[in-house]
Amino acid sequence: MPVADGGSGLSQVGLARVLEEVAAADFAIAFVLVCHNNLAGAVSRRAPAEMRERALGPLVSGERLGAFLLTEPGVGSDAAKITTAARRDGDEWVIDGRKAWVSNGTAADVMSVYAQADPAAGHRGIMTFLVDSSTDGIERTDGYELIGAHGIGTNEIRFDECRVADADVMVPLGEGFVAAMEGIDIARVLVAAMCCGMMRTGLATAIDYVRKRQAFGGRIADLQGVRFKLADVATDLEAARLLAYRAALAVAEGRPAAVHAAHAKKFATRVAERGLADCMQVMGAAGGRRDHPLPRHLAASRLTHYVDGATEIQDVVISRSLLD
């Protein structure tokens, strides 16, 4: 967030580093911050001056929690096909529809709502509203029960004749879809960094265990099979961090980052799940105990394949850059 908007001026690289550290302890807490930052960042980059002035202070201070509402029950990766509708009624906009997989949804105070205002225009008909969660016509469901990430507070939010003012338009007609993809690309970079944090914890936990565990007349850390498995995890971690921070630097410098972000997220999510499983494997049955974070991190690593664009969507982005 720029200093001019009340933030610290931390670059995308710095933010990725912070979230890597937070995710090393808990993925859910880190992802809560990612989603909140997604909203606050979009307000900073895209909102009119009046909205920035009234909305950013409470978001930057943490007084109000934000959420990003794009995905719907029947629309995930193909985000251009959202059906939540916004129609003009006098000097107001009326929003109707359902949003699903809303991270921070159970507790959010303010939400960026992506809605279709001109279906004939396709993705160019999408616009974005900044909506207070206490607005009439909004209903929240209870949180989904998620493996490894209950703390994200993910749920469904429904809009039934929800009326908002012109002053609540954050991104105008024609620009909403681009704004959404901009935020998602940034989030992909951060998820990649968070996977590195979980891998670091897994590797450190496994190393500590195998150095102490005795079997077959010595430490299991001296068994070649154990050593080579952990060496592979370490190599994957180094590669994932290089991809993640290359993408973060591209964002920080204002360069095109979509392909860098896709490479980083695709690779980091895959090696995190594999690496955490290998770290648990060298610990034997002790790897499955809940007195250390590996089981929770492994469960969360499975979720990372879907958040902010499934792995297959990263393949679409990458292959398009190669062949189209």
- pLDDT tier at 286 (50, 70, 90 boundaries)? very high
Is residue 60, in this structure, part of any structural domain at all? no
For residue 188, name the pLDDT band (cuts at 50, 70, 90): very high
What is the per-residue DSSP string for 111-164?
EEEEEES-GGGGGGGEEEEEEETTSTTEEEPPPP--TT-GGG--EEEEEEEEEE
Q: Is residue 291 part of a domain?
A: yes
Confidence of residue 76 (pLDDT cuts 50, 70, 90): confident
d(CA 192, CA 264): 6
- Structural domain contains residue 289: yes
Looking at per-residue pLDDT, the higher value among 148 and 251 belongs to: 251
Let me know if residue 156 belongs to a domain: no
Question: What pLDDT is recorded for position 5?
Answer: 87
Contacts of 146 (CB under 8 A, 6+ apart): 152, 154, 303
Predicted local distance difference test score (pLDDT) of residue 77:
86
Q: Is residue 251 part of a domain?
A: yes
Q: What is the CATH number of the domain that holds 191?
A: 1.20.140.10
- Is 91 inside any structural domain? no
Domain contains 94: no
Mean pLDDT of 252-277: 97
- Mean pLDDT, the chain, rounded, equals 96
Model confidence at 32, in pLDDT bands (50, 70, 90)? very high
To which residue do tokens 């995930």 refer?
A: 76
Token digits of residue 213 = 């565990």
Specify if 35 maps to a domain.
no
Span 105-153, pLDDT tens digits: 999 999 999 999 999 999 999 999 999 999 999 999 999 999 988 899 9
Predicted local confidence at residue 317, as pLDDT? 97
For 218, other C-beta atoms within 10 Å of its C-beta total 9
Q: Percentage of the chain surpassing pLDDT 90? A: 92
pLDDT at 242 over 90: yes
The residue segments making up the domain with residue 191 are 178-323
Q: Look at the chain and report how many structural domains it folds into.
A: 1
CB hemisphere CA count around 160 (13 angstroms): 5
- Determine which of 121-125, 161-165, 286-290 has the lowest per-residue pLDDT on average: 286-290
Torsions phi, psi of 196, nearest 5?
-65, -40
What is the structure's pLDDT at 78? 87
pLDDT score of 300: 97
